């Protein structure tokens, strides 16, 4: 699908609406993850409103693409994108993290229609996505038409299971698998390169036989180019390393690892967060 200038403007507006929804959710819940949710809002917007083959009214449509969110703590961005895409009413986003709500603090696929996996334990999502992509190929041959997307945080690449999944995908040449890494350079206790250095990250993925691209995670044209290139690679899986700004949209919170697992709760924090999106109706 061609990404026109008109479509880019639409995606930019939709991403702003999704970010406002994320902030509203976190303020209402008084807990949750601000940094990664806001940072990945553009990626979720692009996927749900342009790239994914999906049907919000028929979440079990067999020919849909699959989206696996490995870093489940950024589910406010996932929930907001799904709601704006029509999976459930936007008004229900205020149920985030409430007792009995389908919008749990980490995604629970048995509680919310449209989720492909439950997630929470970091490092396991890639192996799940590899299993899905491999079984799809075994069942349907090399071109069932379905694409499998897996979203990872950079911090969870500290987990060995991530690299085990990467090794298997490279060995099996899973061309139907595209991974997007949120390279925001922070994790819960500090900056990634201080906690456990990941660089040279590009070389590591290439060593496991992956097609590697680097993009600006807030530039829709850049993201689109990379996803289209990934779809055109037929002899290996693809990874897109998306450089994002944590807490994107709120300058006072941006690039600060302290906002990894924190929601705006004080009067000053709430006012700061809301004022950043006060032009969004």
Contacts of 151 (CB under 8 A, 6+ apart): 40, 43, 67, 68, 69, 70, 71, 125, 179, 180, 182
Query: Do 153 and 182 touch, CB atoms closer than 8 A?
Result: yes
pLDDT < 70 positions in the chain? 142-143, 279-281
The residue extents of the domains of the chain are: 5-276
pLDDT tens sequence across 161-208: 999 999 999 999 999 999 999 999 999 999 999 999 999 999 999 999
One of 1.10.1060.10, 3.40.50.720, 3.40.50.970, 3.40.50.10440 is the CATH number of 5-276, namely 3.40.50.970
Would you state the pLDDT for residue 280? 61
CA angle 261, 84, 248 (to 5 degrees): 40
Token pair 């590009």: residue: 202
Dihedral, CA atoms, 90, 84, 77, 199, nearest 10 degrees?
180
CA distance 258 to 191: 10
Q: Where are the beta strands (DSSP E) in the chain?
A: 66-69, 148-153, 177-183, 186-187, 190-191, 211-216, 238-243
Closest CA to 243 of 183, 200, 203: 183
Would you state the pLDDT for residue 33? 98
């Amino acid at each position: 699908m061609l990404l026109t200038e008109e479509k880019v403007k639409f995606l930019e507006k939709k991403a702003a609406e999704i970010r406002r929804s994320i902030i509203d959710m976190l303020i209402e819940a008084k807990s949750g993850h601000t940094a990664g949710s806001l940072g990945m809002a553009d990626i979720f917007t692009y996927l749900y409103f342009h790239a994914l083959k999906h049907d919000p009214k028929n979440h079990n449509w067999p020919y849909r693409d699959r989206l696996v969110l490995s870093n489940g703590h950024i589910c406010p961005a996932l929930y907001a994108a799904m709601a704006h895409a029509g999976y459930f009413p936007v008004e229900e986003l205020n149920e985030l993290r409430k007792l009995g709500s389908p919008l749990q603090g980490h995604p629970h696929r048995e509680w919310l229609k449209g989720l492909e996996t439950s997630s929470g334990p970091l490092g396991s999502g890639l192996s799940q996505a590899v299993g899905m992509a491999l079984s799809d190929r075994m069942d349907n041959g090399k071109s069932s038409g379905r694409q499998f997307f897996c979203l990872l945080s950079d911090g969870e690449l500290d987990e060995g299971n991530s690299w085990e999944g990467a090794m298997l995908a490279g060995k099996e040449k899973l061309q139907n698998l595209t991974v997007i890494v949120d390279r925001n350079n922070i994790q819960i206790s500090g900056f990634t390169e201080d906690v456990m250095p990941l660089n040279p990250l590009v070389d590591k993925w290439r060593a496991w036989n992956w097609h590697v691209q680097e993009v600006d995670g807030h530039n829709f044209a850049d993201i689109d180019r990379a996803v289209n290139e990934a779809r055109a690679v037929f002899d290996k899986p693809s990874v897109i390393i998306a450089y994002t700004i944590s807490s994107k949209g709120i300058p006072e919170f941006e690039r600060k690892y302290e906002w990894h697992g924190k929601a705006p709760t004080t009067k000053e924090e709430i006012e700061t967060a809301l004022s950043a999106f006060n032009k969004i109706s």
